[in-house]
Structure 1
């Protein structure tokens, strides 16, 4: 028997019973370019002679179509393909060999498929566990966010309640001050007058000399106090200037302060007006008698 060796067969002389559409075109294109780059096919196909110069594929349909693709890309470089030609004297042996190879290839493919299947199952299990873990973590985060939101809302409500209580307390204090402050001021003024009366004559300040006048005025002080709060600004300014007791800036300050808040007593006037003293206030009260 002649020694087995591949022959170069013209691609155009070969035919295949398997449709080309059975194979992915990108795979055929990739192998075709490798055949051109390498200068040939490393895995010869097996063909059977069906005529003087015609052959059909026995094994290697994919390789054949890749070689045909190479010929389409570069006709001069892809004219031939390496092939084992079945001859009558060796056909039975070659087909038996081919059957064993195919059986082995199928077993290997099945093993690879099984391995891939097991890997896919493992990967799917891992992915499911990951998704379950992720879902569980997401649920825990959602629960934590919900609890935090509830606590924040409770803190906001508590803060609003405390703010309301504080505002009510402040309002109560302001109301109490507005009610008690004039009485406190008048009481302090009366205590001060009594203190001045009880001092020895040699130690009394000049204000004591005006105590009788002050007592007389404080009996009916509202005419001046009312004027300081309500009289026409121009008229009040003129009246105060007429006393010759106050400078212009002091008069302007009186007009400004009464717009901010009404004077509640003469003591309050002295405390709020910078440049106005007790003595001057008493003189203004005395001078004001002519307007009463």
Structure 2
């Protein structure tokens, strides 16, 4: 089904040149768009990419939007219905039918009615047209508000869904990392833990304050040359790491 959006003007492609439209009419529409804040007759667009669209109907409204953007830089988006690719042909047919009904030839009764005097038309037109126009505007505004509400709800639903997916993946990664860390042997931990994780592991082994920071850096620097092949190798190549401290670390890490 068609969806109602606010679409970035820069993402819309229009095949009909601007020169085919009346300049003054475009300018008038642009100022009206700025005043009302929206197009009461939204564009009808076909999505040609993730953030690109082609105009099916509403070229004049598009150029009014572009002109409004030139006048007021805050105008960057226009109201539009986005049609799915498989519904474009049906949308075009509907547009043609609606256009045809608006431009169809007058009936005999209509021709007869046109013979009314100018004074009669002058007297009756204002009385009937104002309420009708107000009703139409109210219906359009209600329709647009409803579509905007549904659009906002769709966005909120997507955000909730995406956040759930992100939370699930983060928990999954955390579980995998925790599982991998718990399976490491003490010697492997000296060789494979990141600096942050090594710092945390040494802290759990009771290495205090400044000694903890220095020892972490010394181990990281020592293993850059080559991996440790034994605990004796760790002690001999790591500055300020003695046998007693090593035994304390091994004892703690063996219980992880």
TM-score (norm 1): 0.35
Q: Which has more radius of gyration?
A: 1
